[in-house]
Amino acid sequence: MKKALTIFLALILGVFLFPRSSYSQGKILPKLSEQTQECIGCHSTETTGIYQEWGTSKHYRANVGCYECHKAKAGEPGAIEHNGFTISVIVTPKDCAQCHPNEVQQFEESHHAKAGLILGSLDNFLADIVEGDTNFYGGSALTASGCKQCHGSVVKFDKNGNPTPNSWPNTGIGRFNPDGSVGSCTACHQRHAFSAEQARRPETCGKCHLGPDHPQKEIYEESKHGIAYRAHEKDLNLASSKWVLGEDYTAAPTCATCHMSAVRTKDGDLLPVTHDVGARISWNNRPPVSVRPEVSDKKLGLKKMSKVSWKVRRETMKKVCTVCHSENYVNNFYIQYDGVVNLYNKKFGKPGVKLMKTLYKYKLITDTKFDEKVEWDWWEIWHHQGRRARHGVSMMAPDYTHWHGLYEVAKAWYTEFLPELKEIGEKNLNSKNQTKAKGAKILLAQLDKLLNTPEHKWYIGKLSPEEKAKRKKAQMEFKKRYGKD
């Protein structure tokens, strides 16, 4: 009883002594500035929606208005003269850092801040060239309205200082801003209310994290967490200024809960808010072969986070999990998670990367991407089905782990990818081009070696007698329960 009372008092003291230790309080100005009051004189009638949204915000109650966020200096990129004021239409993280420096600094160390670098990837070769054209301001209309709306555009201006249609409007999370900053706070904190409640909802993350290659929103909805959210949404205190798991709610987690938000741990410690969404992630499941996050952080130039190991990040996430789950439950989940990721990496990811490198190295296919079917099949194996499986298991969604994930991987691997590789090898085995002939020999040898490994030898009829007996016994038991059909 005394121990329980001590813990209770510690929790209460923690709430009152350190209620804001996990997030920036920003600034409260004594009154609305004369500049903002003049802005309101027009915008309250010219753009009523913006004015009303701002009126619901904490910015309004802190006397932070139009001018404080939009002010600019003459000559700055994107600065324009507007009714006697020098302003910028685009508000950037650099502007937000005037009041929220900690949040911006954390964001700058995150993968979100580097999202704009996707514009040089194969994803964008698809959008720019394969799916698109060059008839929209010298680029693809699809890229401007598709890829860049999540990943971010390079904001450009016309001769009058107005943002160009191929780069604006845009709230992509990794947007390249005219003042040299990167990112868009309004990707999550929708202007002009900048509601914390709205940013905490999984639907906000679903603007970008959904679809065939990264269906986190759909995965979350299938999971027990998503089911609990829909059932107990009213119990989550989403509009609370202080939103701490373990104090203000426990009914269900949202994306923000696990990846960003404050947590009162089972030991009574406060795990603070972070705007680095990778701070609690122990696998990066984006590439063809999953890697530990510090590996990809280093490649992205994230100096601080590249020094934080996946083990540290996992322990941080476990502190979130154990608010609601036992340690044994959480530890076993991570063993299951690692098992599926390692299965995918070993059986499909690493061999696939090696085989595709052989094709390109020995000119067995052209250097042009996506002009041959084998490239499409490999792309979808890792970029679509493989990601779905890995993301599915990371968030406990069995259907995405299996049927939408590794089932689709295996089907494409054995019925499309491997037969195509064999055909390419046999076709070039006797080529007069020595490079191709050599490559074909190497490719076929790689395939033969791969198919004779324990993971793949079933495909060539070499399932072990022990495994055959095990499968036969299981099949007989199944038929006994459910009948011959």
Q: How confident is the model at residue 18 (pLDDT cuts 50, 70, 90)?
A: very low
Looking at residue 118, what is its pLDDT? Answer: 83
| Cα distance between residue 285 and residue 300, in whole Å | 15
Contact between 386 and 417 (Cβ < 8 Å): no
Contact between 468 and 387 (Cβ < 8 Å): no
- Over residues 411-445, the pLDDT tens digits come to 999 999 999 999 999 999 999 999 999 999 999 99
| Cα distance between residue 471 and residue 400, in whole Å | 25
Looking at residue 485, what is its pLDDT? Answer: 57
Q: What is the phi/psi pair of residue 88, to 5°?
A: -125, 130
Angle at 208 between CA 206 and CA 210, to 5 degrees: 60
The verdict on whether omega for the bond into residue 169 sits within 30 degrees of 0, i.e. cis, is yes
Proportion of the chain above pLDDT 70, given as a percent:
94
Reply yes or no on whether the pLDDT at 16 is more than 60: no
Looking at residue 26, what is its pLDDT? Answer: 62
What tokens were used for 326?
A: 């036992």
Ranking 10-19, 38-47, 135-144, 468-477 by mean pLDDT, the lowest is 10-19
What is the sign, positive or negative, of the torsion defined by CA atoms of 206, 208, 213, 216? negative
Three-class SS state of 103: helix
Q: How far is CA 362 from the centre of its chain?
A: 35
How far, in Å, are 27, 54, 204, 246 from residue 243 at the CA level? Answer: 20, 22, 17, 9
Q: Who contacts 327 (Cβ-Cβ below 8 Å, separation ≥6)?
A: 318
Rounded (to 5) percent helix, strand, coil in the chain: 55, 5, 40
Q: Who contacts 477 (Cβ-Cβ below 8 Å, separation ≥6)?
A: none
Q: Cβ–Cβ contacts within 10 Å for residue 468, how many?
A: 11
Q: Cβ–Cβ contacts within 10 Å for residue 179, how many?
A: 17
Q: Tokens 């679509």 sit at which residue? A: 384
Looking at residue 27, what is its pLDDT? Answer: 72
Contact between 346 and 340 (Cβ < 8 Å): no
Looking at residue 25, what is its pLDDT? Answer: 55
Closest CA to 417 of 386, 370, 364, 374: 374
Reply yes or no on whether the pLDDT at 20 is more than 70: no
Reply yes or no on whether the pLDDT at 253 is more than 60: yes
Contact between 40 and 66 (Cβ < 8 Å): yes
What tokens were used for 263?
A: 């947590």
Amino acid identity, position 191: R
Looking at residue 483, what is its pLDDT? Answer: 79
What tokens were used for 150?
A: 């999540």
Closest CA to 145 of 126, 112, 169, 121: 169
| Cα distance between residue 270 and residue 68, in whole Å | 32
| Cα distance between residue 179 and residue 177, in whole Å | 6
Looking at residue 13, what is its pLDDT? Answer: 39
Contact between 222 and 397 (Cβ < 8 Å): yes
Reply yes or no on whether the pLDDT at 323 is more than 50: yes
Q: Cβ–Cβ contacts within 10 Å for residue 354, how many?
A: 11
pTM for this structure?
A: 0.91
What is the sign, positive or negative, of the torsion defined by CA atoms of 417, 421, 427, 433? positive
Looking at residue 12, what is its pLDDT? Answer: 40
Reply yes or no on whether the pLDDT at 378 is more than 90: yes
Mean pLDDT of 120-148: 94
Average pLDDT for the chain: 93
Three-class SS state of 208: coil
DSSP 8-state assignment for residue 116: G
Closest CA to 286 of 270, 305, 299, 268: 299
The verdict on whether omega for the bond into residue 192 sits within 30 degrees of 0, i.e. cis, is yes
| Cα distance between residue 393 and residue 338, in whole Å | 9
Ranking 111-125, 175-189, 316-330, 380-394 by mean pLDDT, the lowest is 111-125
The string of DSSP letters for 301-318 reads: T-TTGGGS-HHHHHHHHH
